Structure 1
Amino acid sequence: MILKAPSARHMALFILILLPSMTGYMAWEGRAVEVTVLTIDGAPEGVVYITDPHVRASNIDHVQEVIREVNRLNPSLVLIGGDFVTGEEEDFASQEVWRSLDAPAYAVLGNHDYRVGIDGRTGFERTLAVQTSTDVTAAGYDVSALNDGSVDAAFADDLTAALEENGVHVLRNDYVRIPVGDEEIVIVGVDDGWAGMADPPDVPATDTFTVYLIHEPSCRADWDADLILAGHTHGGQFLFPVVAQLNDFGVVELAGTFETNGTPTYISRGVCSASVAGVDLRFNCRPEIVLINPTEEQLRVIGGSPTPLLETGTV
């Protein structure tokens, strides 16, 4: 029997049949939130981290569902890693969604919150500029060269005011020391790097567990921290096998745990995505809620929840 290669017509027909089902799957995955558990020695129990909500009309129901799931976990504290908006807003009425959070919330801003690097070309330019025009060492940290004429600081100020009104405390190059259960935690919020606004505060030496919140992982430094939390990448959003392997080997840093001079950095896949024709699409890269040192009660909630649990082990 002689097997003929498929004709161009047959291939085109196959693609036309496959494409809608693939798009449907990627749209489903874009809303299929996982809970990622991190076990970190010395960290307080029950802390939740989310990032990149990009709240807009087309995804506000999804953000509300994420908040409901966070509330079901009854966290001691919620940390949010920036990119609250798309950068195209005329007002911030949608940020009222955060009023429904049942736990104290602390956050930093992201590049969309300053309206910088929000398309492919300018994003690539910012990525390159971090490598060529900045100093991201703890001793000489300086990203001010990125604060150019495109940075909309007034937009970020207005967004910050709206977030504060709705219960989210925004740390802009500041830190707080707060109780979490029977323990304490120091949260250091570094303002957005791509906007050139990052100017890490001087933090007194302490034995208290210290978390640095930063939006872009490439703008982190070798700070005296116990944990660095970042977002921005959406985990790659379309994590095809080759890209996933590059991430696993640390060639690129898109999602998961990496080390910065012995300090673990966790890069979250975020809870929402850049949309295609108004639809959040993902592949092999589901949105996530990060849960640090879960309590027994939280583990029971996860066990009975429709939200899948992804265990990542000890950091």
Structure 2
Amino acid sequence: MTLRSAARALGAVAAVGGACFGWGLLEAHLYTLRRVEVALLPPGGAAIRVLHISDLHLGPDQERKLAFVRGLRALEPDLVVNTGDNITHPGAVAPLLEAFAAFADVPGVFVFGSNDYYAPQLKNPMRYLTEGPSRLARELPPELPWRRLREGFEGLGWVDLTEHRATLRVAGRDVVFRGTDDGHLRRDRYDEVAGAADPSAALNIGVTHAPYLRLLDAMTADGMDLILAGHTHGGQVCIPGYGALITNCDLDTHRVKGLSSHEAGGNCSALHVSGGLGTSPFAPYRFANRPEATLLTVLPRSA
């Protein structure tokens, strides 16, 4: 290969790489609604429509994302489940709560992730793809106003499931929840909510931010019908025809987002991992992996 042909080849590679990166920046704003159905309820009766929202990573001046969130109210969900990483900046709390005010009449539950507690850290954006699960630096970054965010969510009538159990009346049936703090920060203390599922409930749901296997195993062994999590960003950058390269936790890449199942302790739970609606401001791209919220319709099982 001559020097000129080598230069042309390198130029072509650079052009393709630049085009892919440019598309990734654009795709991070192509907000999408996913619709999923799963049969978990006792036979007979109506379905329960669950709106699963996660990983908004909301910063200043993201009105398009907020408009998408407000528009989800038209789906008329019976329940909202928010699995954390809502903000990246203190100024995002007020506009986020204003957008979620549209759901004030809808039962809801929530847990927090690392980017509800701490501001995102500046780092090489390619490290997200080349390292294992990310960790906070030894010196903690600035704390975000998570207490104000929690008060705002509770003001909507939503229940904080951080190491807490709760029973809500949803679409005329009792749904029992348990949740944990963020496993990615190792703040989870599942033993505080552990125990057998409620056999009288129409549905037992486990909620956590990051789908680490230790939490999925514990919730499944205790008999949760459904487990909801976020955190993974669907892999953030995927290869068409192959899928995600990473999950940013110890979950396998084949379950990086969407509906799957998990087995532990002789039980099997339905697992839904949200691909999320945002990115870190320091890695503001997604590729072959549009940002998403999910309307999860839980149907009655066949008699």
Same-fold call, TM cutoff 0.5: yes
Q: Partner of 1:75 in structure 2?
A: 77
Give 3-state SS (helix, strand or coil) of 1:159's partner: helix
How many angstroms does 1:270 deviate by? Answer: 0.7
Question: Separation in 2 of the partners of 1:202 and 1:180?
Answer: 23
Residues 117, 194 of structure 1: 8 Å contact kept? no
Q: AA paired with 2:12?
A: F
Give 3-state SS (helix, strand or coil) of 1:184's partner: strand
Question: Separation in 2 of the partners of 1:151 and 1:19?
Answer: 32
Q: AA paired with 1:103?
A: V
Residue among 273, 277, 285 paired with 1:281: 285
Residues 58, 92 of structure 2: 8 Å contact kept? no
How many angstroms does 1:15 deviate by? Answer: 4.3
Residues 205, 227 of structure 2: 8 Å contact kept? yes
Q: Report the CA distance shift for 1:205/1:251 in structure 2 as closer, same or farther (over 3 A).
A: closer
Give 3-state SS (helix, strand or coil) of 1:40's partner: strand
Residue pairs, 1:1-315, within 5 angstroms = 7-15=5-13, 17-19=15-17, 21-32=19-30, 33-42=32-41, 44-68=47-71, 70-86=72-88, 88-89=89-90, 92-96=93-97, 97-101=99-103, 103-115=106-118, 118=121, 127=133, 150=140, 155-165=145-155, 168-200=158-190, 201-202=193-194, 205-207=197-199, 208=201, 209-218=203-212, 220=215, 221-223=217-219, 224=222, 225-241=224-240, 244=243, 251-252=252-253, 253-256=255-258, 257-261=260-264, 262-276=268-282, 280-293=284-297
Q: AA paired with 1:93?
A: A
Q: Report the CA distance shift for 1:206/1:160 in structure 2 as closer, same or farther (over 3 A).
A: same
Give 3-state SS (helix, strand or coil) of 1:112's partner: helix
TM-score normalized with structure 2 length? 0.73
Root mean square deviation, CA, Å: 3.7
Q: Report the CA distance shift for 1:155/1:12 in structure 2 as closer, same or farther (over 3 A).
A: same
Q: Report the CA distance shift for 1:31/1:197 in structure 2 as closer, same or farther (over 3 A).
A: same
Give 3-state SS (helix, strand or coil) of 1:7's partner: helix
Matched positions, count: 271
Unaligned residue ranges in structure 1 (runs of 5+):
130-145, 296-315
TM-score normalized with structure 1 length? 0.71
Q: Which moved more, 1:186-195 or 1:148-157?
A: 148-157
Question: Separation in 2 of the partners of 1:6 and 1:168?
Answer: 63
Q: Which moved more, 1:163-172 or 1:70-79?
A: 163-172
Question: Separation in 1 of the partners of 2:134 and 2:23?
Answer: 33
Q: Report the CA distance shift for 1:82/1:265 in structure 2 as closer, same or farther (over 3 A).
A: same
Residues 60, 92 of structure 2: 8 Å contact kept? no
Residues 90, 144 of structure 2: 8 Å contact kept? no
Give 3-state SS (helix, strand or coil) of 2:262's partner: strand
After superposition, give the CA deviation of every residue in 1:154-210 in whole Å (9 maximum; x if it has no partner): 843333123334554322211221111132211222111233332232456412211
The percentage of aligned residue pairs carrying the same residue is: 24
Question: Separation in 1 of the partners of 2:106 and 2:50?
Answer: 10
Residues 95, 166 of structure 1: 8 Å contact kept? no
Question: Separation in 1 of the partners of 2:18 and 2:10?
Answer: 13
Unaligned residue ranges in structure 2 (runs of 5+):
none
Question: Separation in 1 of the partners of 2:40 and 2:269?
Answer: 12
How many angstroms does 1:81 deviate by? Answer: 0.5
How many angstroms does 1:13 deviate by? Answer: 3.8
Question: Separation in 1 of the partners of 2:144 and 2:62?
Answer: 25
Could you list the runs of 4 or more consecutive aligned residues of structure 1 that deviate by over 6 angstroms after TM superposition? 3-6, 121-126, 151-154, 245-248
Q: Report the CA distance shift for 1:185/1:119 in structure 2 as closer, same or farther (over 3 A).
A: farther
Question: Separation in 2 of the partners of 1:63 and 1:91?
Answer: 10
Question: Separation in 2 of the partners of 1:80 and 1:151?
Answer: 24
Q: Report the CA distance shift for 1:289/1:202 in structure 2 as closer, same or farther (over 3 A).
A: same
How many angstroms does 1:99 deviate by? Answer: 1.2
